[in-house]
Amino acid sequence: MSLTVSLAIKKNRLLIRLKGELDQSNVEGLRNRINEVTKKYQIKYLVFNLENLQFMDSSGIGFIIGRYGEIRRIGGKVAICAMNETIYKIFKLSGLSRICLIAKNEDYADQLLGVAI
């Protein structure tokens, strides 16, 4: 199974929906794509929707830590929503659960970020 990425932009918020499996084989392509969009549209808030992400290993954690570092530098925030149980365990191990906003779904993520319309 491969990774399908769909992106949506609302003002300075980028919504990233991931479907499939995220690992070392596809993390670099994803990183380049997100960095390009983040720069081009001056994105300040990132929302990851992992509802349809079946699998992620520490490659994905490294990727999110990297994006968190860049977003924090410009005073933004990162929210993650709809993680499955195993992915949430990895999040807790990495410490990301303490620095990112964790939400049940995209609406909650928007509310937490304070960018709801």
Partner 1 sequence: MNEKLSFYDNEIEIFIKSRFDNVILARSILISFLSNLDLSVNVINELKTALSEAVTNAIVHGYDSDENKKVRILFAYTDAIIKMEVEDDGRGIEDIEKAKEPLYSSKLDEERAGLGFTIMEVFTDELNIESTIGVGTKITMTKRIFDEFSND
Q: Based on CB atoms, which residue is closest to partner 1, 37 or 90?
A: 90
What's at 1, amino acid-wise?
M
Containing H/E element for 40?
helix 27-40
- Euclidean distance between CA atoms 69 and 117, whole angstroms: 26
- Euclidean distance between CA atoms 70 and 46, whole angstroms: 11
The count of other CB atoms within 10 Å of the CB of residue 79 is 23
| Residue 52 interacting with partner 1 (CB under 8 A) | no
Which region, judged by CB under 8 A, interacts with partner 1, from 9-17, 36-44, 81-89, 99-107? 81-89
| Residue 25 interacting with partner 1 (CB under 8 A) | yes
- Euclidean distance between CA atoms 108 and 71, whole angstroms: 20
| Residue 86 interacting with partner 1 (CB under 8 A) | yes
When binding is defined by CB under 8 A, the residue of 11, 89, 105, 116 that contacts partner 1 is: 89
Binding site for partner 1 (CB under 8 A): 1, 21, 23-25, 31, 55-59, 61-63, 65-66, 84-86, 89-90, 93-95
